[in-house]
Amino acid sequence: MKFHQVRILADENVSPKVVAFLRDQGIDVVDTKERGWQGKSDDELLETAYQENRWVLTHDSDFGSLATLPLLAPQNLPLT
């Protein structure tokens, strides 16, 4: 997989400038703030990322504990 083919779900703590930069690079980014998903649980966001085959981009260290769940595909491990 090439980097520009990566699909990302950006958590609410990711700067809009980062989202814009990634999009300028041709990366498919879904921003939780743009979708109105602020306050959704980490579990819900991870499930959405899984369903949409996206990586999670976050500054939230709690996401790391969710990455140890056995049913997650490698592409759904959070990028922290």
Higher pLDDT, 4 or 59: 59
Q: Which pLDDT belongs to residue 1? A: 58
Q: Residue 28 — φ and ψ, nearest 5°?
A: -80, 110
Indicate the pLDDT class of residue 78, thresholds 50, 70 and 90. Answer: low
Distances (CA, A) of 44 to 23, 25, 27, 30: 23, 27, 22, 14
Q: What is the pTM of this model?
A: 0.75
Bridge partners (DSSP) listed for residue 8: 29, 55
The domain limits of the chain are: 1-6+13-25+39-80
Give the pLDDT confidence score for residue 70 in this predicted structure. Answer: 52
Angle at 68 between CA 25 and CA 37, to 5 degrees: 50
pLDDT at 37 over 60: yes
How far apart are the C-alpha atoms of 27 and 4, rounded to whole Å? 5
**Residue carrying the six token digits 């041709």:** 26
